Amino acid sequence: MARVIVFGSLNMDLTIEADRMPVGGETLTGRGFFTNPGGKGANQAVAAAKLGADTCMVGAVGEDAFGDELISGLKGAGAGTEAVARVADAPTGIAMIIRTQGENRIILDPGANHTLRLPAVSAELDRLSAPGDLFVTQLECDHGTTFAALAAAHDRGLYTVFNPAPAVPVPDEVWPAVDLLCLNETETEIITGVLPQDDATISQAAAWFADKGVDPVIVTLGSRGSVLLRSGSVTPIGACPVEAVDTTAAGDTYIGALSAQLAAQVGAGAEPAGLRVEEAARYASAASALATTKLGAQQSVPTASEVQAFLALRA
């Protein structure tokens, strides 16, 4: 199996539930407060590891108790942490999460996540990776470093999976280093100017990505499933209906599961052009759905056996 190398954020999630969002100057009584290891990068690494991939995390935390807990969580899931730096001049990243009516509103303090620069990431790529491995990244770390790291990984022969979240406009020179783009409908709108709500707008978004040379692209559509945009065609991928409790790690579980499945294909001898992305996306949809049935981020990520059992029930 190819290795999955995730460069991204590690945050401690501080989460509480309320019936609604408070208005300015108002204090509400909440419930169900808990802390949970999170961060898009760490969540995706945990998901890939729990779903069977040889996974290494590249990132940074502070020299504090939250940093200790985040590293412990990665290790517990089976992800390698030797490339997680401990920095003395910044705290571990924090995510403040308010849960209201099954949805999340999140405020981030990136902390140590913004301290890594390209030389450190490149050194870890040289140490940990080989051509054919997967490189997975998001946008909770320094943007310039992330864009440069995509190019560095691509130049080393890694298959790059880019999840541009939280979304920002992406410079045109970044796209040639992206082998697979995976983003949700809101992120699609921010990047392309098109909100993919129906066949017409999905086709408009597909044309935008095609013009930039990005292929394939997966756009997740929440309860409507997702679509695979590849070689000019649009392939719908149905959702897996469940009773959602908390959507915190759903998208990250999707990315981790997708990466684990693609890594397994590479390990079985598949070349990048022959990767069965649609098959991997259907598996990722099931894993993501299961993640919404539990509270929290990393603790909600299902195991490979749980996903297989869920898929067997739907067969």
Distances (CA, A) of 177 to 70, 209, 304: 29, 14, 30
Tokens 């990048």 found at: 272
pLDDT (0 to 100) of residue 175: 98
Q: What is the pLDDT of residue 108?
A: 86
Report residue 56's pLDDT band, with 50, 70 and 90 as the boundaries. very high
Please indicate whether residue 252 is annotated as part of the active site: yes
Which pLDDT belongs to residue 222? 85
- The whole-angstrom separation of Cα 83 and Cα 105 is 30
Q: In this structure, what DSSP letter does residue 251 have?
A: H
Token look-up 């590891």 returns 49
Q: How far apart are CA 169 and CA 187, in angstroms?
A: 9
Q: Which of 257, 269, 263, 262 is nearest to 302 (CA)?
A: 257
- Rounded to an integer, what distance in angstroms lies between the CA atom of residue 208 and that of residue 212? 7
Whether pLDDT at 293 is above 80: yes
CA 50 to chain centre: 14
Candidate list 13, 142, 246, 252, residue with the active-site label: 252
What pLDDT was estimated at residue 313? 83
Pairing of strands 11-17, 31-38: antiparallel
Residues 6+ apart with CB under 8 A from 175: 212, 213, 214
pLDDT at 102 over 80: no
Is residue 206 pLDDT above 90, yes or no? yes
Q: Which residue has the higher pLDDT, 131 or 271?
A: 131
Say yes or no to pLDDT of 240 above 80: yes
- Closest by Cα among 12, 8, 6, 14 to 92: 12
* pLDDT value at 295 more than 90: no
CB 247 within 8 A of CB 104: yes
Q: What is the pLDDT of residue 59?
A: 98
Asked if 282 and 261 touch (Cβ cutoff 8 Å), the reply is no
Check whether 113 has a pLDDT greater than 80. yes
Distance CA 41, CA 161 (A): 12
Tell which residue, 307, 301, 298, has the closest CA to residue 280. Answer: 307
Residue 228 has pLDDT above 80, yes or no: yes
Q: Has this prediction a pTM greater than 0.75? A: yes
CA dihedral (260, 265, 270, 272) in degrees, to 10, reads: -20
Q: How far apart are CA 198 and CA 151, in angstroms?
A: 33
3-state class (DSSP) for residue 83 = strand
CA distances for 245 relative to 114, 249, 282, 295, 310, angstroms? 31, 11, 21, 6, 17
Average pLDDT, the chain: 93
Give the pLDDT score at 76.
95
Domain boundaries, the chain: 3-21+31-314
Those residues whose C-beta lies under 8 Å from the C-beta of residue 215, and which sit 6 or more positions away, are: 209, 229, 230, 231
Alpha-carbon distances, residue 308 vs 39, 213, 222, 288, 315 (angstroms): 26, 34, 21, 13, 10
Question: Would you state the pLDDT for residue 147?
Answer: 98
**According to the model, what pLDDT value does residue 128 have?**
97
pLDDT at 57 over 80: yes
- What is the CATH number that goes with domain 3-21+31-314? 3.40.1190.20
